[in-house]
Structure 1
């Protein structure tokens, strides 16, 4: 391996870690719901697949539309996280124990979409520079899956400590992350 190849690998790993931290943060919030291990594994795999599909779409579209969709993807992702966070907080104050939004079915797809929208814009940018598609999407998906699992497992532990307040805390985390996407500081 030459220095350029090592630098490219290192750059892609750092980028995949940064994108995976979004999934970790969201997983931390969603992990405060009462989730079984089977659900946690499924959520991580779905998030990983979305973190492969979204940058792949971005890489393929590349230069043609990168200037138009970069900001829109962050806005849509931020709004979805605000919606999910608000619904989690609201349902934590309801007398029933069933949360309004759960990472199952359509809720899981919404969750995965909101966690991976930013990787679409990164894919657009990488498409301009001619990044290696297979390597890039593999790294993004793998790292996001691992970090989602870490976030979900940590959220699960926190949920046990906080009890009924954990869903509200998880909602606040999602709200904060949505605000961060909408208003980058």
Structure 2
């Protein structure tokens, strides 16, 4: 897998984290480089770690199923991509609804001020849960890496860096523009993964050679 292909795959995988980062940016009253960096580190670290786990799980079976490895890569990427596209439709207004509920519940009362101060959008448990949820797809992709000619350390690091950068950008976009790009990001990410799966399959079948 070449650098360009890996970059395209990394962008596709990072779209879930990018979409959630948009929601994070929308919920923050003030955006700083530090806050955006924290969001990026959570998502980037998990997005880099999950392919490693998937790779070492997949490598256990690589020698036994080499004849169908390209079909496995295709099916996994296609399923992940279709799920992302489905989620982009289902959750199109999810982020807006959550923010609206927060606004309705946080009236200008003494109790609401205490509640606001106790809500930390970057709380460890919350961010870990989100980071795991948005990186599960990368775990499955790591399994496909076990069947392809991929340097897993470089690939995982590259995916993490791309996710880190896009997550920081997502926080800023969410703060400035709201959720207009959230569902679009998930849809594009899903489409990219499906196309990558098709490309891998066609290459192994000898239909295309690039």
Q: TM-score, normalised by structure 1?
A: 0.67
Q: RMSD over aligned Cα, in angstroms?
A: 4.1
Number of aligned residue pairs: give it. Answer: 163
Report deviation, 1:139: 0.9
Partner of residue 54, structure 1: 50
Larger Rg: 2
Structure 1 residue aligned with 2:37: 41
SS for the counterpart of 1:113 is: helix
Query: 1:107 & 1:150 partners in 2: Cα distance?
Result: 20
1:152-171 residue pairs with structure 2 within 5 A? 152-158=171-177, 169=179
2:105 paired residue number: 94
Q: Which runs of 5+ in 2 are unaligned?
A: 63-68, 195-210
Q: TM-score, normalised by structure 2?
A: 0.60
Task: Indicate conservation of the 8 Å contact 2:49/2:156, yes or no.
Answer: yes
Higher RCO, 1 vs 2 (CA within 8 Å, ≥6 residues apart): 2
Number of the residue aligned with 2:10:
16
Aligned match of 1:30? 24
Structure 1 residues 1-185: aligned runs within 5 Å: 8-34=2-28, 35-37=30-32, 38-62=34-58, 64=61, 85=95, 87-96=98-107, 98=116, 102-158=121-177, 169=179, 173=182
What runs of 5+ residues in structure 1 fail to find an aligned partner?
1-6, 159-165
